[in-house]
A = this chain, B = another copy of it.
Amino acid sequence: MAVGPVSLEFFPVPGVRLAATAAGLKKSGGLDAVLFEFAPESRTAGIFTRSLFAAAPVQVARDHLQRAAPRYFLINSGNANAATGQAGVMDAETCCSAVSQQTGSSPDETIPFSTGVIGERLPVERLTNAISQLRDGLDENNWLIAATGIMTTDTRPKIASRRFNVEDKTVTITGIAKGAGMIAPNMATMLAYVATDAAAEAGLLQDLLTAAGERSFNRITVDSDTSTNDACMLTATGVSGVDLSDDAALAVFVPELDSLMLELAQGLVRDGEGATKFVTVTVEGGASESDCLGIAFSIANSPLMKTALFASDANWGRIVMAIGKAGVPADPARIDVYLGDVCLMKGGGKNPDYREEQGAAVMTGEEITIRVDLNSGTCSGTVWTSDLSHDYVTINADYRT
């Protein structure tokens, strides 16, 4: 069960073709292999997990991205190729070579991605056997089946799309993402692929992606656990003829990219494992943005807060607890706490006008906003999270069995 409606509409991106197939990596027999192809002259930027145990494909991706502008992404679900040592790196390289042979490109021009169970060797042959079929199926209309092919415990595909004009030219941005558990902000979370037909050189593209990632994927948490395979990619094909080195074009493009990436990131939270609530946590009136984010993440990651949200219990004592443990200096006597528009706490103590029914009424909704005002500055920060439900435990107690 995910929170909120799902939109599956998208615009194809000129210069990008995709395909998905069932290569036999998922026991279910579902789609588990995806190929992206980008037009020549495309440029790509990436941000990756900060985990010490960055998976083999992440290591290879970083390397290939240094060496060449990617023409292909080969993505598999069902196996993370993580904690597989040097053998795992060779497996990922073998897959890239297979794409190279089937497409006449260089092995460095393919970037590999994997998501699924950690610690098992990748079934390389199943994946390489599927490549000719993937190549033959490449089509610019395949974004939705690609979004389905990268899913693991996700209950629905995540896709977002924007089309807008820059002067007389049309620009498209479309992206897909996957991830429902092991979601915590540390670079991009799990896998996300965004492409546009605008043109940009690689350095600018990296700056745009890093900034947009900081405001979207790095502001969400489902369970505070960070994946070994996180990757978020932004590719610019340039086919539209709109160049982002032009400041006017950039000014139109950036808000569209930001809103698309935030939609994808929030889509992960809405489909967070076992999620029954979509929760926005805003902390304002702080001395710095990082202070505000520190408190917001402390609230968003607290198991006691998350179980109270699941129970639709306006247990504001747990908000207080989570503020208290955040390790951020603040004056308790100045802190106000709101649930939706209802003021629960005023100046560090219970708001005398607050009645339990008011909090309970807000909590009946699927979309909840918690707002903390530190009343000590002008900075703010917002993060998004889900609740901790019985289904989270069920999903994660059963995942491998």
Contact assessment for B400 and A313 in the assembled complex, using a CB-CB cutoff below 8 Å: yes
Task: Answer yes or no: A320 CB below 8 A from chain B CBs.
Answer: yes
CB-defined contacts of A320 to chain B, threshold 8 Å: 53, 82-83, 118-119, 228
- Interface 0/1 of A77-113, CB less than 8 Å to B: 0001011111110000000000000000000000000
Q: A304-B181, A307-B392 are in contact. Are A325 and B186 (CB under 8 A)?
A: yes
Question: Nearest CB to that of A318 among chain B residues?
Answer: B118
- Minimum CB–CB distance from A387 to chain B (whole Å) comes to 9
The docked-state distance in angstroms from the alpha carbon of A210 to that of B137 is 66
CB-defined contacts of A54 to chain B, threshold 8 Å: 324
- Minimum CB–CB distance from A162 to chain B (whole Å) comes to 32
Task: Answer yes or no: A349 CB below 8 A from chain B CBs.
Answer: yes
Contact assessment for A53 and B84 in the assembled complex, using a CB-CB cutoff below 8 Å: no
The docked-state distance in angstroms from the alpha carbon of A330 to that of B186 is 18
Contact assessment for A223 and B304 in the assembled complex, using a CB-CB cutoff below 8 Å: yes
Task: Answer yes or no: A398 CB below 8 A from chain B CBs.
Answer: yes
Question: Nearest CB to that of A52 among chain B residues?
Answer: B324
Q: Main SS of the interface on chain A?
A: loop
CB-defined contacts of A330 to chain B, threshold 8 Å: 52
Contact assessment for B85 and A349 in the assembled complex, using a CB-CB cutoff below 8 Å: yes
The docked-state distance in angstroms from the alpha carbon of A6 to that of B398 is 31
- A363-401, CB < 8 A from B: 388-390, 392-394, 396-401
Contact assessment for B225 and A332 in the assembled complex, using a CB-CB cutoff below 8 Å: no
CB-defined contacts of A228 to chain B, threshold 8 Å: 320-321, 324
Task: Answer yes or no: A226 CB below 8 A from chain B CBs.
Answer: yes
The docked-state distance in angstroms from the alpha carbon of A83 to that of B318 is 10
Contact assessment for A349 and B311 in the assembled complex, using a CB-CB cutoff below 8 Å: no
- Minimum CB–CB distance from A334 to chain B (whole Å) comes to 11
CB-defined contacts of A313 to chain B, threshold 8 Å: 397, 399-401
- Minimum CB–CB distance from A313 to chain B (whole Å) comes to 6
29 contacts between A and B (CB under 8 A): A49-B324, A50-B325, A51-B325, A52-B323, A52-B324, A52-B328, A52-B329, A53-B323, A53-B324, A83-B332, A83-B349, A86-B349, A87-B349, A118-B320, A119-B317, A120-B350, A181-B304, A184-B325, A223-B304, A225-B302, A228-B324, A303-B303, A303-B392, A303-B396, A304-B396, A311-B396, A311-B397, A311-B401, A315-B400
**A contact residues vs B (CB 8 Å cutoff):** 49-54, 80, 82-88, 117-121, 181-182, 184, 186, 223-228, 301-304, 307-308, 310-311, 313, 315-318, 320-326, 328-330, 332-333, 345, 347-350, 388-390, 392-394, 396-401
Top 5 nearest A-B pairs by Cβ distance?
A118-B317, A85-B349, A51-B324, A53-B324, A311-B397
